[in-house]
Structure 1
Amino acid sequence: MADALLSIVLDRLASLIQQQIHQEVSLVVGVETEIQSLTDTLQVVRAVVADAEKRQVKEELVKVWLQRLKDITYQMDDVLDEWSTSLLKSQIERPESPSMSKKKVSSCIPSPCICFKRVAGRRDIALKIKDIKQQVDDIANQSNGFNFTSRFGNEEPQRLITISAVDISAVCGRDKDRDTILRQLLGKSCEQNLGLYTISVVGMGGIGKTTLAQLAFNHDKVKAHFDKRIWVCVSDPFVPIRILRAILEALQGQSSDLHDPEALQQKIQESIEGKKFILVLDDVWTEDYQLWEQLKNCLNCGGGGSRILVTTRSESVARMMRSAYVHSLGSLPLEQCRALFSQIAFCGKSTDKIEELEEIGKKIADKCKGLPLAVKALGSLMQSKNNKQDWENVLNSEMWELDVFEKKLSPALLLSYYDLPPPLKQCFSYCAVFPKDHSIERDDLIKLWMAQSYLNSKAGREMETIGREYFENLAARSFFQDFQKDEEGNIVRCKMHDIVHDFAQFLTNNECLIVEDDCENLKTNLSRQKCRHATVIVHGSTRSSFSVNNARNLHTLLVVFNNGYRIDPLDSFQQFKYLRAMDLSKDTSIIKLPREVGEFIHLRYLNLSYCRRLETLPETISELCNLQTLNVRYCRKLKKLPEGIRSLINLRHLQIRADSCMLRDLPKGVGRLTSLRTLSFFIVGDENGSDVCKIEEIRNLKELRELEITGLSKVEDAGEAEKAELKNKEQLYGLTLNFLPWRSQPVGMKEVAEALQPHPNLKSLRIESYQVEEWPRWMMEPSLLQLTQLFLSDCDRCQCLPPLGDLPLLESLKIKWMEQVKYVGGEFLGSSSKIAFPRLKHLSFEDILEWENWEVKEEKGRKVMPCLLSVEIIGSPKLTAVPDLLLQRTPPIKLDLNHKKIEWAKEEIGGSS
């Protein structure tokens, strides 16, 4: 991890030197020499870091040395980022072009006061660099006493090895355990007993307790047997009110705003009274019976035969909970352990290679001591290695000699971690900032990595693309689990196993901190540690603030608001001047951000989503020239964005929900944000407004990947629409065209739609509120050859559907609210290909109220929808039949007709050729 930090600093040093040369901006005399000497020393230190990171596990002094190195590296990063920001601001303030009038140029010349501040600022930076140089020299001298093994100083970072994440569909070796738990859950002998019947699964971390509970919880017999099924991850600490809220949310299927314990208990009792339920409490640690009793008392009203299934590492917990049955989960049997390892490690390897490595593989699997988590980690590691010598090196590694199983640190994880390139080590260890069992959004995690400068965008590659590769590589190596995927099979969110999370916390030592308590505890914890990344999970019901004088060096602050607790950002956050990432999402107390937020010059990630009372952002936000991500989704009362937002030249993701805020326009000048990749809300300004965005500003946003345009009915002239130049945006893969608000006479709407033809590279398209009888020409011919997802909604005047069957890659099609459509037939299938809808998997119709007839004919030599998996038809009361062609599929498709499942629909659907 220190290696990755040093790499970031060295890259920044090189970049700043080049900037200084090109911009002719120099610091005080002599600093150039200091910088070159600092660079040389850092290169020498970096050469021994890999050896130091391996030795820190056994040698405490090496661990202390590494911690000191990381501390000074963070300080260097802060100073260099301050310097970089100073250069960036001076660049922004320069005249836009040489042709500007003398009057305008003179107005751009900074005042003497500002110039003095800049000189003073540069001198301050120079002094900090000299001080850091002295400390780095001291650290380098210290390293000589450890006799570290060096590597080449100019060694290039290890290239990522692509491996595949193996989907383990069958869980090896747990059939007997599963059947035993099922007998306890479904047995009738104890149904009349008073009190709750509790079953506990006890075993060491990584042994498979949660997996076993999932097997039972999701079993068909369990689904049929219980009226209510509830799953809650408890972890540590055991907070009854948090668990009560989780139970209620599981019962209701939605989040709850209740914070009063009595109200929560009442709602839960109303939901389960007289009903047979199963409640899984996963990962329980507390041995305090009083805490358990608070929870148990509100569950006694359930029906006879209700069950509570607990997973825990401690037999004392099982006894405290008065478990009627305790199941001790042992290690995987040797043969099952080897089978699981082989399934992962030999995936994609040739028969000859498997024969060559099989015996070594068995020995490696045996070293995992029957722990499934360790087996998966080692299997994923070995999948990327084809050389016999590499396999023998893992088998004979000194890591196996470490007595670390009892310390919650698996040699398998150590081996997998040390095999990672330095940037991936940094990205993985950063995940220690999340609480245990936290659902990690892939895209948010990548944006947080970007904010910390972990994603090097050399060779012109997108940081977001590199981030996705890093994420997938970590997922394939079993550092992530519990994947949720989108329709295309991409992972969108995941979790970390507790043991993996413990390992990440071990690596970060005091750098990442999670505090789940009151403000006094927060103050104590942050003050005594050199913390750089913190998550604050606060509970309570009173408004408060905190001030932590010794935590000024935070780079990340993620605040999780529970139970109505509120923190005043003005009092709390103005001290954290080095923040790169701040997440205040779901704080419903914030009405406006303080103007002091403009002092957070290092800030790159600002998440204010779900701050439902937020009305305005301060103009000082324009000072955040490093900002990459601004998320104000679901800020329902947000009325306007600051005029100065056009100064955020590094902004890459502006995330807004068009249907969940009070914004009526965007400020003029958004077209200057040429770094934008995501613009999820572009509302066309009123034609009479002079200070609002016009559609032509989209022209300069050449890097857009995702774009939503709302208010297209205001664009009456096709020439004006053409200025957006959508057809030239090769990078754009996701587009929404929304023609709201409607006009009584949609004059010129078709011409405007014609002018908004996207580039053929587009992959996802939404068209909403299109009020013309005819579709634009580019919808009537197969021009969008890369399109995989299409959603048509509220197109009330359209009487027929476009020939979408000609789209060769379309996989998901949703059609909603088409009031004039009565017949769907051959025109829908198209005519230019031998296969209509050759890739379509999911087809959905909703609220096609007048739809009466649907004909699908498979002509000779032409197939129709050969890959179809599911059809959903909701709210079409006049449609009485579906085509026979769909009903006769083998295997049958999954059909949902007006909310009623066809009795023969299979639960697991496979494609047909």
Structure 2
Amino acid sequence: MAEALINLLVEQLGSVVYHHTSEGVKLVLKAKKDVDKFRSTLKLIQNVLHDAEKKQVEDPAVRDWLDQLKDLSYKMDDVLDAWNTEIGKREAEKQETQGSDVEVRFSFRSNCFCVARLNEVTRRYKIGSAIKDLNEELTQIYIDKNKYSFQPTMHAAAVNVEQPNPQSLTSSFVDISTIFGRQDEKERLVSELLREGRPGLVIPIVGMGGLGKTTVAQFVFNDARVQAHFDIRAWICVSDPFDVIKIAKEILELVSRKSQNNSNVLQKLLEDIQEHIKDKKILLVLDDVWTEDQTKWESLRLPVLMETGSKGSRILVTTRKQEVAQMMRATSDMITLGKLSHLDSLKLFSSIAFLDREQDKSNKGFGDIAEKIVRKGDGLPLVLKTLGSLLLHKLTIREWEEVLNSEIWNVKVVQEEVFRPLLLSYYDLAMEVKSCLLYCATYPKDFEFGKEILIEQWMSQGYLNVGENEEEATKGREVFTKLAMRCFFQDFRQDALTKEIIGCKLHDTVHDVVQYLNQNECHTVEATGTHGIETSSANHRVCHLTLMSAPEGPIPSMISKLANSKILRTLATFDSRITAIDSDLISQLKRLRTLNLSRNNIHHLPEEIGDLIYLRYLDLSRNGNLRRLPDNVCNLYNLQTLRLAYCFSLEKLPDNMGKLINLKHLHVQACGRLQCLPKGIGSIRNLRTVDGRPSVYCSEDAEAFKFGDLRMMNQLRRLDIRISRVGEKCCK
């Protein structure tokens, strides 16, 4: 992530010095030489970053040096952001009072820098002083780099070779109907599942990460014979932690085919499951089980539940740990996956690396290197898929040889063999693509994230650096495609009509890798109750914090002690039931760029939410009891995305929404009580998306957004609202 961050800062500072020649800017920054010095030092450091990123894997001292550099870079980014925000506030106020029709653009990332009246001497002094202090820190970091004998490279971007126009996703993935080297295991599993007199209930599939346990289970789960044999089939991603209530709820939803959100009482959930599976033959797959805790397994009472079903019901479990099979008392029925044979490995690798390249496949030069690379893949399907995807667009023998001879193969410190080829594929990515991949560590394992949501979060963190005539969303989709083509993503969900990918997951082992690479910046904590949070350690360098399973009540104030609140840039919650946010906590999180509070039970937000002036992304979707937003939310001048989808009780948006001059994406779909938008929406010139289906209308009401107000919104790419019917009332 350091490479992308430094590259962005170099461009920002270059924009200040060379493009923005206003005398006002020069005065604020005190002296051009201060900015010049900072930028030139960054460029010198930039030349060794690619080597440093590789060496950090095996040298903790290098990782610490990179962390110091990232800390400083974030500070400089904050300085630039603070000044840019001040200008934005002034321009927004000017536009609001004067009703100016002139398009306002102000960003260090663009080639146009509009300066309002900047006469505050104190503000000038603070900006100039901050840059001077950061210069001194950067100089010391530059001196310290000599301790590590980094090898300089060409400009950081030049070490990444990627195709400018990637192929479509559908031509880049292995056909999932084809399985290499697992036919025996598949047939054995199918046979065991269909055998009526079989005594065992639980069948575990055991193997290390990357061996294809989940893939084998999926083939069996979807086999036509299995589908015909079982009345009910249910697939549960368990992962870690082993949450008994959550697992029971998911099983109930799958067997009843209804959403179940009402009960948190385990006994009631288990009774409901029994009712739905009674006298039915059920196949239950528990994918990725980690816990060895006998108590948790027994509390779920699955063996007892399955007895309610018809004879022949089965539980299929995938796990990396034989201890799990022992806990389930199913070791005699355990199927252990081994590595693929060399021949099967070569078939799998070639099916990806030589896709649509039959001529190269028959080339002896490519064939010899493929043999050697496959041997390094060591029979691990995930590794072979990753390597195949890495080499798919490398069209010369020299490029294949560079992969074969890479130093990454010699890394010893990583904990699993699969890490090495994944790291190899990671280091081959362009700088901004690396940052986007690493940000996925903010999601829990086995979580399906929406493509557009992920892209909007990348935007909020400034990872999608675009030119003057480029769209960030378009760039984000290109990045997503590149990561998908490299097999970093899996389990794709498509739109039924357009067939466009709308959601996916990270493979568990890929998740392990991005967490490993991002361990000092991303931190996940598990709430254990109203009085505590479970965490292995606190880290003052954490800037992306994920909170899991927070109970009903206010958001735990202890989170401010788990990270340096002055640098925290992301706060996200998952599987939580938060009802309120303390205003004192908000006051500690002033540097947030991304705030995800979706799928909670928030009733209202404090006015202090408007103090998060650097916020770019705010997700409050699926908070069913949220009726209104505070007026101060309109002070979020930098806000780019506001998600309020499925807030069924939402009645009205603030009247001053026009102050959100940088808002690009507004999502208010399925907000049943919200009938119209405030008139101020029409003055937001940067809006690209307004999604209000099916309940939001254009209206001729004087205080509401009118159809005619669309004339000034020339940046719109998507509009989903309706024209008001005659006599229909809109919100006031």
Could you tell me which residue of structure 1 aligns to residue 223 of structure 2? Answer: 219
CA offset digits 1:263-288 (Å, max 9, x no partner): 21121111122322111111111111
Preserved contact between residue 551 and residue 576 of structure 1 (Cα < 8 Å): no
Change over 3 Å in CA distance of 1:677–1:160 after alignment to 2: farther
2:256 corresponds in structure 1 to 252
2:574 — aligned with what? 560
Deviation, structure 1 residue 159: 6.3
- The residue identity in structure 2 corresponding to 1:499 is T
Find the residue that maps to 2:356 and give its secondary structure. Answer: coil
Counterpart mapping for 1:643-792 below 5 A: 643-657=655-669, 659-681=670-692, 683-684=696-697, 686-687=699-700, 689-714=701-726
- 1:495-547 CA deviation, whole Å, 9 max, x = no partner? 11111001001111211112223266548667434211121112445556324
Which residue identity does 2:485 align to in structure 1?
A
Q: Does 1:492 align with 2:505?
A: no
What secondary structure, in the 3-state scheme, does the structure 2 residue paired with 1:366 have? helix
Q: Give how far 1:16 is off.
A: 4.1
> What is the one-letter code of the residue matched to 2:69?
L
Gap change, CA 1:542 and 1:653, over 3 Å in 2: closer
Q: Check conservation: 1:408, 1:499, Cα contact below 8 A.
A: no
Q: Do the aligned partners of 1:202 and 1:209 also contact (CA within 8 Å) in 2?
A: yes
Counterpart of 2:190 (choices 153, 175, 182) is 182
Q: How does 1:170-569 map to 2 (within 5 A)?
A: 170-190=178-198, 197-257=201-261, 258-296=263-301, 299=305, 300-323=307-330, 324-352=332-360, 354-355=362-363, 356-403=365-412, 406-407=415-416, 409-486=418-495, 487-518=497-528, 522=533, 527-541=538-552, 545-547=556-558, 548-549=560-561, 550-552=563-565, 553-562=567-576, 564=577, 566-569=579-582
Gap change, CA 1:126 and 1:677, over 3 Å in 2: same
Q: Per the alignment, in what secondary structure is the counterpart of residue 363 of structure 1?
A: helix
The answer to whether the 8 Å contact 1:523/1:546 transfers is no
CA 1:157–1:94: 2 relative to 1, 3 Å: farther
Q: In 2 relative to 1, CA 529–268 (structure 1 residues): closer, same or farther, beyond 3 Å?
A: farther
Distance change (3 Å), C-alpha of 1:525 and 1:92: farther
- What is the one-letter code of the residue matched to 1:127? S
Specify the alignment match of 2:107 in structure 1: none
Q: Does 1:52 align with 2:52?
A: yes
Asked if 1 retains the 8 angstrom alpha-carbon contact of 2:380 and 2:418, the reply is no
1:352-383 CA deviation, whole Å, 9 max, x = no partner? 56414112112111210100000000000111
Structure with the larger helix share: 2
The 1:155/1:398 distance shift into structure 2, 3 A limit, reads closer
1:483, 1:92 → 2: CA distance? Answer: 41
Task: Confirm or deny: 8 A CA contact 1:433 1:512 kept in the other structure.
Answer: yes
* Amino acid aligned to 1:77: D
Range moving further from structure 2, 509-518 or 213-222: 509-518
**Deviation (angstroms), 1:58:** 2.1
The Cα of 1:120 is off from its aligned counterpart by: 3.0
Say if 2:141 is the partner of 1:136.
Answer: no
Contact 1:409 1:502 in 2 (8 A): no
Determine which structure has more spread, i.e. the larger CA radius of gyration: 1
SS at match of 2:523: strand
Q: Following the alignment from structure 1 to structure 2, what is the Cα–Cα distance between the partners of residues 501 and 6?
A: 24
Map 1:758-907; keep pairs closer than 5 Å. Answer: none
Counterpart-to-counterpart distance in 1, 2:482 and 2:13? 29
Matched residues in 2 for 1:255 and 1:574: separation?
Answer: 37
Q: 1:491 to 1:430 in 2, by over 3 A?
A: same
Q: Secondary structure at the match of 2:639?
A: coil
Worse overlay, 537-546 or 387-396: 537-546
Amino acid at match of 1:444: I
Counterparts of 2:554 and 2:544, CA distance in 1: 24
SS where residue 551 of structure 1 aligns? coil
Q: CA RMSD in A?
A: 2.6
**Structure 1 residues 75, 276: CA separation in 2 closer, same or farther (over 3 Å shift)?**
same
Q: Where do 5+ consecutive residues of structure 1 fail to align?
A: 101-113, 716-739, 743-913
Structure 1 residues 139 and 302: alpha-carbon distance in aligned structure 2, compared to 1, 3 A threshold: same
Following superposition, the deviation at residue 426 of structure 1 comes to 0.8
Per-residue Cα deviation, 1:654-681 (whole angstroms, up to 9, x for no partner): 1112x53312332223221111111113
Alignment-mate amino acid for residue 648 of structure 1: L
5-14 or 607-616: bigger deviation: 5-14
Separation (CA, whole Å) in 1 of partners of 2:98 and 2:674 = 36
Q: CA deviation at 1:401?
A: 2.3
Offset of residue 430 of structure 1: 1.0
Tell me which amino acid in the other structure corresponds to 1:473.
K
The answer (yes or no) to whether the contact 2:210–2:418 under 8 Å persists in 1 is: no
8 Å Cα contact 2:554-2:580 kept in structure 1: yes
Please state whether the residue corresponding to 1:535 is helix, strand or coil. Answer: strand
**Farther-moved stretch of structure 1 (408-417 vs 19-28):** 19-28
Unpaired runs of 5+ in structure 2? 101-115
> 3-state SS of the aligned residue for 1:666?
coil
Partner-residue secondary structure (3-state), 1:311: strand
CA–CA separation in structure 2 for the residues paired with 1:290 and 1:240: 10
Q: Which residue is 2:644 aligned to?
A: 632
Structure 1: distance between partners of 2:217 and 2:337: 11
Alpha carbons 2:555, 2:580 under 8 Å: kept: yes
Q: TM-score, normalised by structure 2?
A: 0.90
Residues 599, 623 of structure 1: 8 Å contact kept: yes
Comparing 517-526 with 533-542, which one deviates more in the overlay?
517-526
Structure 1 equivalent of residue 172 of structure 2: 165
Deviation at 1:336, TM superposition (A): 0.8
Match for 1:451: what amino acid? Answer: S
Amino acid at match of 1:261: L
Partners of 1:623 and 1:223 lie apart in 2 by: 55
C-alpha contact 1:378 1:416 (8 A) present in aligned 2 = yes
Counterparts of 2:431 and 2:626 in 1: how far apart (Å)?
A: 40
Q: Out of 587, 590, 593, which is 1:580 matched to?
A: 593
Do the aligned partners of residues 439 and 685 (structure 1) sit closer, same or farther apart at CA in structure 2, a change above 3 Å counting? closer
Partners of 1:480 and 1:554 in 2: how far apart? Answer: 26
User: 1:44 touches 1:153 (CA, 8 Å); kept in 2?
Assistant: no
- Does the aligned pair in 2 maintain the 1:624–1:648 contact within 8 Å? yes
| 8 Å Cα contact 1:276/1:302 also seen in 2 | yes
**Residues 22-61 of structure 1: matches in 2 within 5 Å?**
22=22, 24-25=24-25, 27=27, 30-61=30-61
User: Contact 1:512–1:534 (CA<8 Å) still a contact in 2?
Assistant: yes
Return closer, same or farther for 1:217/1:388 CA change in 2, 3 Å cut-off: same
Matched residue SS, 2:524: strand
522-531 vs 308-317, which moves further: 522-531
SS at match of 1:310: strand
